[in-house]
Structure 1
Amino acid sequence: MSISTERHVERSAPETRAAQAAPAVVHTPWARAVALAVGAAAVVVVILLAFLWPTATSTVKDLPIGVAGPAAQVTAVEKQLGTEADGAFAVTSYSDRQAAVDAIQKREVYGAIVLGDTPEVLTASANGAAVTQILNQVATTLQTQADAQAAAAVEQAIAAGRAPAGTKPPTITVKVTDIVPLSSRDARGLGLAASSFPLVLGGMIGGVLISLLVAGSWRRLSAVVLYGVAGGFAVAGILQGWFGILQGDFWLNTLAVGLAMFATAAFVVGMNALFGRVGIALGAVLTVLVGNPLSAAAQPLQFLVGPWGAIGQWFVPGASVSLLRDLSYFPSADAPFAWLVLLGWAAVGVVGMLAGHFRNQEVTEAAA
């Protein structure tokens, strides 16, 4: 009996010593656990609002359209649009149809109404589905009004004895012409709008990975440059060569995509060089939570509340989407602003990387 007891003691002694050596489990304070849970929920709410707010609060307003035709008819239509669709359109008058077409191709207006004996509505589906839908509604309204005016004119002629009873009103067809159509492989324009977020996310992920995995400022700068070149070529190859979403000059589109990805990645790396991990969070917030929702990728920038649509064009997502749309479908449009915005963000990122490099060098020399 005593022998078995000693053996039992010998087997349990190591277990006892291990139990005594194991550190005690330190539980997270309740206050901190609750704060983390509430904070995580708050982050989800902020992200939801950032992406939902621009769409939920957007309204049809200040859509730039043109009106061409005889001066008297143009004035009447402008007054009618101002009365029946108050604030929905920003109207510019043109002397003739060709002037309106030129303005659409330069993206000065998104569509136009041509008046006269053969009324016509000029659209540009490359501006997006929302604009096309609105202009088609305008064409339907004009058709209804033209039919009503023709019927009223015939009734007056019959009543005045100028036309025999039973005379049918003349057929007036309001023609709808798509001046700048979308690619047949992206007929609804969903591809260009959908590709904006992957571009933003790709640039941010590249910046985060380079910040965390590459040491040395000059090596980081080289990595960002290579990332922009390789990413621009690959993404443009997919969007244009594979899916046919982008149109126009392939190499110019490649340059635009690469510059957008370089600008985002360089900004994230530059902020990390200046402020550490906080800089990465700053780059992500400005790019994903501010710039992307305000980019107006799926709707005209005029539809966003207040000045936010115009402000969004000063960020990389808005500038890159506008630039790619112009390069693909509106080569006559004035695009230097978008190029300058992308170059500006890229320059800020490069300056941040270099400033962080020399700052770290000074700190190291002072410590030595």
Structure 2
Amino acid sequence: MSHDTPAGAPAPHTPAGRLVGATLGLGLVLTLIVLAFTWPAVTADAKDLPVAITGPDDAVTALTDQLEEARPGALDLIEVADRDEAVHAVETRETYGGIVLGDLSAGEAPEVLTSSAAGGVTHQLMNQIAQQLQTAVTERATAAMSERMTAAQAEAAEATQRAVQDAVSAALAAAARGERPPAPEGPAPAPDPMTIEIPRVTVTEVVPLSDDDPNGSGFTAALFPTLLGGMIGGIGISIAVQGALRRVVATLLYAVLGGGILTGVLQGWFGALQGDWWWTLAALSLSIGAIAAPITGIVALVGRAGIAAGPVLMLLIGNPIAGVTVPKEFLPWQWGEIGQWFPPGASGTLLRDLSYFPAADPANAWIALGAWAAGGIVLSLVGHARTTTES
């Protein structure tokens, strides 16, 4: 018996089981999206954040113990030879900041090196360390002054007592000789007033943000169009272009075009990026290709169902562990390091290096992006070869 719906008749209602299943499935998707975008911010916590430190051994040891007590496990203090080496460590992104300890007894004030270009969270943390140092220096200077005042007062009291004893002895001696006792000398002079000279902790920005983006919000916002642009390109090409090889060509052309557009807007117009124009163009083009190519490659293998690979791989997995809004060290376990090998994390690191840290080594970021782009192209070629063989 046929159950075909007559022409013009209303479509049958969706079965209750399918309705419930679709609702639960969409709820699961919503849950994953919420977790993906809120999990990094909620769980982020400083852990083994590399910070350079230099100074006298006893001062370094004392401060290390103090910071470990105040922030257990938060910092990984790396001893360096001198201030120049600490600055170099910040410029090459080996550390997020530095602490230069001088000889306080010689009046050398500590210095804290920071970099707002490395991230707002770490810049704030280094400023908090500077405040802690200033508090410790103030307490030490105040205690030293108190000791000096106590010693001076004791010395003055001892001098007065000696003067009284000498006067009494002189009077007795004069009386024994039948002479008039000498007039007593005036009181011992009071100790000179002392002033507290508290060394001031200096905070030096080694790599500051640009004047065009003083808060770093422009740089952070600039990374999302790269992710979105790559996904839109991969999905759009998968739908609009037929043929695996043609999709490869379209992806390459789109990556260069998209990189040029983003470079013109984000660097040329808004000033959110600060690197050399051509290097920025190359980085953005490769970033878009690293996101778009895997999508078209998976579609070449499994068909239109592969379109979902973009949102899953890049948005739900790669973006939360990219370490863009917070340092990778703030993420639990090794997710921060893993995130640097996904396109969102690699592109964020590469663009930050090109904009603010020319002395850093961005090789891993180039390799990661190149591997994703090449992998996507290989998948497209494999899909093309399989389709040709089957036909």
TM-score (norm: length of structure 1): 0.91
Q: CA deviation at 1:105?
A: 0.4
Which aligned pairs between 1:3-18 and structure 2 lie closer than 5 A? none
Indicate whether 1:178 and 2:201 are aligned: no
AA aligned to 1:244 is: G
C-alpha contact (below 8 Å) 1:158/1:165 kept by paired residues:
no
C-alpha contact (below 8 Å) 1:271/1:283 kept by paired residues:
no
Which aligned pairs between 1:64-79 and structure 2 lie closer than 5 A? 64-79=50-65
Q: CA deviation at 1:34?
A: 1.5
Indicate whether 1:272 and 2:272 are aligned: no
Q: Rg larger in 1 or in 2?
A: 2
- Please name the residue that 1:89 is paired with: 75
Which aligned pairs between 1:263-342 and structure 2 lie closer than 5 A? 263-342=290-369
Instruction: Give the root-mean-square deviation of aligned CA atoms.
Output: 1.4
- Please name the residue that 2:176 is paired with: none
Q: Measured at CA, do residues 350 and 21 of structure 1 come closer, stay the same or move farther in structure 2, by a change above 3 Å?
A: closer
Q: How far apart, CA to CA, are the structure 2 residues paired with 1:255 and 1:352? A: 23
- Please name the residue that 2:382 is paired with: 355
Q: CA deviation at 1:131?
A: 0.7
Q: How far apart, CA to CA, are the structure 1 residues paired with 2:77 and 2:253? A: 46
- Please name the residue that 2:226 is paired with: 199
Aligned-pair identity in percent equals 47
Q: CA deviation at 1:23?
A: 3.0
Q: How far apart, CA to CA, are the structure 2 residues paired with 1:107 and 1:125? A: 12
- Please name the residue that 1:107 is paired with: 93
- What is the SS of the residue equivalent to 2:45? coil
Q: Measured at CA, do residues 66 and 21 of structure 1 come closer, stay the same or move farther in structure 2, by a change above 3 Å?
A: closer
- Please name the residue that 1:143 is paired with: 134
- Please name the residue that 2:66 is paired with: 80
- What is the SS of the residue equivalent to 2:76? strand
Q: Measured at CA, do residues 24 and 149 of structure 1 come closer, stay the same or move farther in structure 2, by a change above 3 Å?
A: closer
Choose from 20, 45, 48 the match for 2:31.
45
Indicate whether 1:152 and 2:179 are aligned: no
Q: How far apart, CA to CA, are the structure 2 residues paired with 1:62 and 1:21? A: 69
Give a deviation string over 1:196-232, Cα, whole Å, max 9, x none.
2221111011000000100122221111111111111
- What is the SS of the residue equivalent to 1:205? helix
AA aligned to 2:298 is: M
Q: CA deviation at 1:128?
A: 1.1
- Please name the residue that 1:16 is paired with: none
Q: How far apart, CA to CA, are the structure 2 residues paired with 1:84 and 1:30? A: 58
Choose from 283, 302, 305 the match for 1:256.
283
- Please name the residue that 1:61 is paired with: 47
Q: How far apart, CA to CA, are the structure 2 residues paired with 1:260 and 1:22? A: 50
- Please name the residue that 1:125 is paired with: 116
Q: CA deviation at 1:237?
A: 1.3
- Please name the residue that 2:171 is paired with: none
* Structure 2 runs not aligned, ≥5 long: 1-5, 103-107, 157-190
- What is the SS of the residue equivalent to 2:212? helix
Query: How many aligned positions are there?
Result: 345
Segment of structure 1 superposing worse, 68-77 or 235-244: 68-77
Q: How far apart, CA to CA, are the structure 1 residues paired with 2:100 and 2:7? A: 88
- Please name the residue that 2:260 is paired with: 233
- Please name the residue that 1:188 is paired with: 215
